[in-house]
Amino acid sequence: MKSNIPSDHTLIIDELETSIKFNNLYLILGLLPKGSYLVGGYIRDIILGREPKKIDVDIVVPLNAIEIGKKIADNNGSKFIILDEKREVVRIILNHINIDIANQVSSTIEGDLCSRDFSINSIAFLFDKKCLFDPFNGLRDLEMSLLRTHSEENLLNDPLRILRCFRFVSELNFKIDFNLITFIKKNKGKLYFVAKERINYEIQKIVHGENALDAILLIKKLNIFGSDNLTEDSFFLDLEKINYAELNQKEKEKFLPSFFITQILDVVSLEKLKFSKAEIAKTKLLRKWHSFLKNKNISQLSELDRFKLHQELETFLPCFIFYLPKNLRFSWLKRWRDKDDKLFHPSNLINGDVIKKNFKIEDGPILGELLQYLSKELAFKRLNNFDEAIYKAKQWIEQNAPKCD
């Protein structure tokens, strides 16, 4: 990715100050002590011309971050949260903006900046001097679309930064510096010391990025999650050989994130990383039907098996499409896109309340089996209207309802 980064710092500073004014951040500047500076993603995104939905601002003050943060929050009627009392890190929520304020931990600004995750996040804007301070060539790395860190220790200080590398690949289309790749390979096992919720959050960011495929390919190549069976298990596909163009843009945005998650994590890992029950259940169903079709030709499926497949995969069938033979993918997608196709969108011609009212059936297994039967008849076009459904329901009840002696 070729960046259009201004070589003149004056232009960047003008854009920074314009953004600060637009976001009403000037309301807090007058309450900051001398020697305070802005750092991190806020500067990076302005330089790249990005407009993230969520704005996070990182400010470093020489001392007394808690006291300063509380004063700012009280002055502006903002929400105030202490994130780390020992290290004095606080958050102020001003409208839609998170403002984190922390104490400078080193004796110099350069010392503080060298401990930040990547060079592109180590560019500071000094409020007093109204100038940029870039001791680790973050601006150059932004121009080169390169992700680089000052030292291996920067990863060890917070191993989640390993995953954050792939987020920048996904969201910004950055390349990872060779030395950083070496650090990642060496320390990827330390990722499991990180809180599971934080890992989950980063994975979600990765799979929803514009260049998610590149990031996922790199994660698999480096075996970040240590799953030895990523190549042995047929459920894990060769992502470089898939024709993603078979999905339209809306389908890609909705279904590829879940598909990518299944390609880097098995069910056990999903459970350990506290993924939602819905995500885990979805993966289990994808695995179930992939395994089923490995041993059975689709054309040989019974009506009941075919019906169950569509019933269980109906809401996320595009996640499964790449496991089908190539000659079937387009036709299956075309039918799935047709909401009136009753096999690909199994539904009941009449609902349970109508059945209960007409046949005096209570909630329970019999009602469930009857509705399943009617849905299958509808899916295979053996029902055309309401009267036929009532007639077939009556026949089924006579044959299947328990008889009283």
Q: How far apart are CA 82 and CA 91, in angstroms?
A: 6
**Is 199 within 8 Å of 163 (Cβ atoms)?**
yes
pLDDT score of 67? 97
pLDDT score of 4? 59
Q: How far apart are CA 168 and CA 205, in angstroms?
A: 9
What is the average pLDDT across 45-52?
Answer: 91
| CATH fold label, 9-144 | Beta Polymerase; domain 2 (3.30.460)
**Domains of the chain: which residue ranges?**
9-144, 150-277, 352-400
CB atoms within 10 A of CB 349: 20
What are the pLDDT digits (tens) for 329-378? 999 999 999 999 999 999 877 778 888 888 888 888 888 899 899 999 99
pLDDT score of 247? 97
CB atoms within 10 A of CB 219: 25
Residue 403: pLDDT band (50, 70, 90) is low
Residue 1: pLDDT band (50, 70, 90) is very low
The answer on pLDDT for 51 being more than 90 is no
Q: Which carries the bigger pLDDT value, residue 28 or residue 167?
A: 167
What are the pLDDT digits (tens) for 58-101? 999 999 999 999 999 999 999 999 999 999 999 999 888 999 99
What are the pLDDT digits (tens) for 255-265? 999 999 999 99
pLDDT score of 2? 45
Query: What is the four-CA torsion angle of 10, 37, 114, 136, rounded to 10 degrees?
Result: 0
pLDDT score of 402? 72
The answer on pLDDT for 3 being more than 60 is no
Query: What is the four-CA torsion angle of 157, 261, 57, 2, rounded to 10 degrees?
Result: 100
Residue 6: pLDDT band (50, 70, 90) is low
The answer on pLDDT for 5 being more than 90 is no
What are the pLDDT digits (tens) for 93-114? 988 899 999 999 999 999 999 9
Query: What type of residue is 297?
Result: N
What is the average pLDDT across 380-404?
Answer: 85
Q: Which residues contact 197 (CB under 8 A, 6 or more apart)?
A: 274
Q: How far apart are CA 62 and CA 361, in angstroms?
A: 74
Burial of 307 (0-12, 13-18, 19+ CB in 10 A): buried
What is the C-alpha R_g of the chain? 28
CB crowding 76-112: b at 16 or more within 10 Å, else e: bebebeeeeeeebbbbbebeebebbbbbbeeeebeeb
Q: How does strand 131-133 pair with strand 175-176?
A: unpaired
Q: How far apart are CA 315 and CA 270, in angstroms?
A: 20
What are the pLDDT digits (tens) for 247-256? 999 999 999 9
Q: Report the half-sphere exposure of 157 (CA within 13 A, side-chain side).
A: 11
* Lowest-confidence pick of 31-45, 133-147, 191-205, 338-352: 338-352
Encoding tokens for residue 99? 């403002």
Encoding tokens for residue 231? 């190549």
Q: How far apart are CA 298 and CA 306, in angstroms?
A: 8
Which residues share a beta bridge with 175? 146
pLDDT score of 357? 84
Residue corresponding to tokens 């990005």: 50
Q: How does strand 55-61 pair with strand 37-39?
A: antiparallel
Burial of 129 (0-12, 13-18, 19+ CB in 10 A): exposed
Q: How far apart are CA 231 and CA 47, in angstroms?
A: 40
What are the pLDDT digits (tens) for 265-293? 999 999 999 999 999 999 999 999 999 99
Superfamily name with CATH number, domain 150-277: cca-adding enzyme, domain 2 (1.10.3090.10)
What are the pLDDT digits (tens) for 110-169? 999 999 999 999 999 999 999 999 999 999 999 999 999 999 999 999 999 999 999 999
Closest C-alpha among 260, 320, 317 to residue 293: 320
Q: How far apart are CA 274 and CA 285, in angstroms?
A: 18
